Chains A and B, each alone.
Chain A
């Protein structure tokens, strides 16, 4: 069994018994990276010197004994839009190719407190805009199951690195599906927590009303541990929720008897690959066999979600990305004629096509004369979409469906057609607009590519989501499959 396939408790037991050291864990990570990185390209920046130094310190702590962090010694990858002090944070953009953060994001600070080891910064679609990692301005990450296929996005590097066994776990960010969809495409577990559960302080903002940091892991138990480490109120984020944080691993009882599951017909209708539908129905029969019940429901405003999302997310992005002006950080264009020219040239040279397209769409939707027709209209439809979920959760504990309508697609297949690319997010976007938590777990394969099952819960009820996901894992072997690299 590969080192990173061990359960967290087993890793910690081995560390206790001196059968394993943190240095060995970190070595395993970097040697796997040098083996697989030429074909996967999951990383933008490695943190090797620091990580090795930290490993020595943690090994020393191990010798001395005493209390240890929840994620002690575990090699972690961080998506490159989460700022790390003294470690380049590029957002996979030429604009920030030299950006050296002067502080840690709260989630990173919490990982440090939990004593995981930061291995490096992971590739993504530029500024988290995209669903395939083809919008990275450096190079696309490839799917470990088949390197001709995309790993999904925007947290494609985060998903691929875990699937390839390069790191024990990673952090990603999810705005409209950017943790769940790549987790599905790469055959791993990806959790988008409730909006407000994990601090966004230090997450480079894309769409502030939707962005949320979450864990990508090989199994549900690890997901619960990482969430435990990063969740919690933070005054640095004005939309951080001041709620009690339960013991998430305590929820992993394996018991789903009596759980009521709603299955939206809109998530299994037109445009859903029959192999995906079959895998989801099979998963539902597993839940039935465990004593849960499910029935078909309707989330009637689903068909409006993508239009709503692209108007809102792009509007927020156009405002958030106004800060990239070439004055305080980032790459400044040479020889500007004036201050305005400096802004224009720096932004035009620094941003890639998808980022420009979304800034343009958002600026248009917010511009004088169009605000009511587009932005305000979308905010109102968002209310209707959220009400769909509120109503469903009056009768059901969970909503289950596919994470994505299809398995991963080929690199290059959907480039140049933004609208088709956007439609890949049909099952994840409504959940983001409603702000509720959802996890993607592996539930099958189609022609050698993984399929993801999406389990959606009530706001701040991550415990039930994790419990149901974990119970499924106990009955199935899907999460144990590994790509041959």
Chain B
């Protein structure tokens, strides 16, 4: 399996990255090298092996459904590049 620069463009789009031509070329080469290295995993039979997502025997941690204090709006917006009327502001989404 080898990646083409078209694949790299597709993945960059999924990752919301805009790559220069030089970056595209470099990433195509480097990702191919890394994925080729990763192919060594195929040498292992994992048919009957369960996947590990993390090492602790913990699943679905819930907290009590209780009302809690939330952060004040000014604090939440402190780092916003742009805001208006207590909300984050972004370019128009709808025409």
Digitize B70-94: 1 where CB-to-A-CB distance is under 8 Å, 0 elsewhere: 0100011011111000001011110
Which of A's residues lie within 8 Å of B, judged by CB?
Answer: 98-100, 102-103, 195-196, 208-209, 235, 238-239, 241, 301, 303-304, 306-308, 310-311, 318, 322, 325-332, 336-345, 347-348, 351, 353, 356-357, 359-361, 363-364, 367, 373-374, 376-384, 386, 418-419, 434-435, 459
The answer to whether A348 and B19 touch across the interface, beta carbons within 8 angstroms, is yes
13 A-B pairs besides A386-B55, A419-B37 with CB distance below 8 A are: A196-B58, A208-B54, A304-B44, A310-B34, A325-B16, A328-B79, A345-B18, A353-B23, A356-B23, A357-B27, A357-B30, A384-B46, A459-B55
The answer to whether B41 and A308 touch across the interface, beta carbons within 8 angstroms, is yes
When distances are taken between beta carbons in the complex, the residues of chain B under 8 Å from A356 are 17, 19, 23, 27
**Lowest 10 A-B CB distances belong to which pairs?**
A435-B55, A379-B51, A332-B81, A329-B79, A209-B54, A380-B46, A238-B61, A348-B18, A363-B15, A307-B38
The answer, among B16, B37, B50, for a CB contact under 8 Å with A343, is B16
B40 within 8 A of A: yes
The answer to whether A304 and B41 touch across the interface, beta carbons within 8 angstroms, is yes
The answer, among A332, A379, A384, for a CB contact under 8 Å with B82, is A332
The answer to whether B17 and A339 touch across the interface, beta carbons within 8 angstroms, is no
28 contacts between A and B (CB under 8 A): A195-B55, A209-B53, A241-B56, A307-B37, A307-B40, A318-B15, A327-B90, A339-B92, A342-B91, A344-B17, A356-B19, A356-B23, A356-B27, A360-B12, A360-B15, A360-B31, A361-B31, A363-B14, A363-B15, A364-B35, A377-B42, A379-B51, A381-B41, A381-B44, A384-B44, A384-B46, A386-B52, A418-B33
When distances are taken between beta carbons in the complex, the residues of chain A under 8 Å from B31 are 357, 360-361, 364
The answer to whether B54 and A376 touch across the interface, beta carbons within 8 angstroms, is no
How many A-B pairs have beta carbons closer than 8 Å: the answer is 161
The answer to whether B46 and A381 touch across the interface, beta carbons within 8 angstroms, is yes
A381 nearest in chain B by CB position: B41
With A102-B78, A345-B18 known as contacts, the answer to whether A235 contacts B41 (CB < 8 A) is: no
The answer to whether A360 and B52 touch across the interface, beta carbons within 8 angstroms, is no
When distances are taken between beta carbons in the complex, the residues of chain A under 8 Å from B7 are 364
With A195-B56, A348-B19, A380-B51 known as contacts, the answer to whether A339 contacts B90 (CB < 8 A) is: yes
Which of B's residues lie within 8 Å of A, judged by CB?
Answer: 1, 3, 7-8, 11-12, 14-19, 23, 27, 30-31, 33-35, 37-38, 40-42, 44, 46, 49-56, 58, 61, 63, 71, 75-76, 78-82, 88, 90-93
When distances are taken between beta carbons in the complex, the residues of chain A under 8 Å from B3 are 364
The answer to whether A378 and B41 touch across the interface, beta carbons within 8 angstroms, is yes
A336 nearest in chain B by CB position: B91
When distances are taken between beta carbons in the complex, the residues of chain B under 8 Å from A322 are 16
The answer to whether B50 and A380 touch across the interface, beta carbons within 8 angstroms, is yes
A355 nearest in chain B by CB position: B17
The answer to whether A419 and B51 touch across the interface, beta carbons within 8 angstroms, is no
Complex-state Cα separation, A303 to B43, whole angstroms: 11
The answer to whether A99 and B79 touch across the interface, beta carbons within 8 angstroms, is yes
The answer to whether A100 and B38 touch across the interface, beta carbons within 8 angstroms, is no
A375 nearest in chain B by CB position: B51
Closest chain A CB from B12 CB (angstroms): 7
The answer to whether B41 and A196 touch across the interface, beta carbons within 8 angstroms, is no
Closest chain A CB from B9 CB (angstroms): 11
Complex-state Cα separation, A289 to B20, whole angstroms: 60
A349 nearest in chain B by CB position: B18
With A310-B34, A327-B90 known as contacts, the answer to whether A367 contacts B54 (CB < 8 A) is: no
The answer to whether B78 and A100 touch across the interface, beta carbons within 8 angstroms, is yes
When distances are taken between beta carbons in the complex, the residues of chain B under 8 Å from A376 are 51
Complex-state Cα separation, A310 to B93, whole angstroms: 36
When distances are taken between beta carbons in the complex, the residues of chain A under 8 Å from B23 are 353, 356
When distances are taken between beta carbons in the complex, the residues of chain B under 8 Å from A301 are 44
When distances are taken between beta carbons in the complex, the residues of chain A under 8 Å from B90 are 327, 339, 342
Complex-state Cα separation, A363 to B11, whole angstroms: 6
The answer to whether A304 and B46 touch across the interface, beta carbons within 8 angstroms, is no
A102 nearest in chain B by CB position: B75
The answer to whether B44 and A383 touch across the interface, beta carbons within 8 angstroms, is no
When distances are taken between beta carbons in the complex, the residues of chain B under 8 Å from A357 are 27, 30-31
Closest chain A CB from B1 CB (angstroms): 8
Complex-state Cα separation, A373 to B1, whole angstroms: 11
